[in-house]
Amino acid sequence: MAYEETSSEHAEHGHAHPNYLGVFLALCVCTVLSLVFDILPWSRATVAVLVLSIAVAKAQFVMRYFMHLKFEGRWKYVLLLPTSILACGLPLALAPDIGLHYYTVDVPQVEHSGELAEPIEVPEGTDAGEGGAH
């Protein structure tokens, strides 16, 4: 009797195998859409939003079907919670270092061409011979 109950419960949940070919075709369509959006002459911000949206959709397909998260129980959220906290906390913890110290006013960011306009003359009697600092 217990076996009949478990088999009927299993049939109610309908754990059918996913259509991997359909998921593969959906991923191919998403990839083609990303390429098309990248080629179109739209603004960079629009293209970035569209391509990143498609990337999120592709990640959802991979997570739900190939990683079988769609068919797992609710315990996956228990495993996801600490990871989510760390994923949000790490950028917040690093923001002061990156935001406050990446560019400084003391050292301006200048692009150099690699060639000097005028040769630098080194006074005699200094140690800035060959290979020295210019």
Residue 36 lies in a domain: yes
Q: Which residue has the higher pLDDT, 91 or 10?
A: 91
Residue at 66 is within a domain = yes
Domain extent for 51:
9-73
In terms of average pLDDT, the best of 24-33, 89-98, 106-115 is: 24-33
Residue 64 included in any domain: yes
* pLDDT band at residue 95 using 50, 70 and 90 as cut-offs: confident
Is the pLDDT assigned to residue 132 strictly greater than 70? no
For residue 54, which of 18, 28, 77 has the smallest C-alpha distance? 28
From the CB of residue 66, how many other CB atoms can be counted at a distance below 10 Å? 13
Q: How many domains does the chain have?
A: 1
- The answer to whether residue 93 sits within a structural domain is no
Residue 12 has pLDDT above 60, yes or no: no
Once rounded to an integer, what is the mean pLDDT over residues 67-96?
Answer: 84
Mean pLDDT on 92-100: 78
Quick one: pLDDT at residue 29? Answer: 97
Instruction: Give 62 or 104, the one with higher predicted confidence.
Output: 62
Residue 22 CB neighbour total at 10 angstroms: 11
Residue 56, pLDDT above cutoff 60: yes
The larger pLDDT score, comparing residue 83 to residue 115, is at: 83
pLDDT at residue 51, as a whole number = 95
Q: Say if residues 20 and 65 touch (Cβ distance below 8 Å).
A: yes
Radius of gyration over every alpha carbon of the chain, rounded to an integer in angstroms: 29
Six-digit token pair at 101?
């110290």
Res 101 pLDDT > 70? no
Determine, yes or no, domain membership for 124.
Answer: no
Would residue 89 count as lying in a domain? no
Domain assignment present for 68: yes
Instruction: Confirm whether 108 is domain-assigned.
Output: no
Q: What percent of the chain has pLDDT over 70?
A: 64
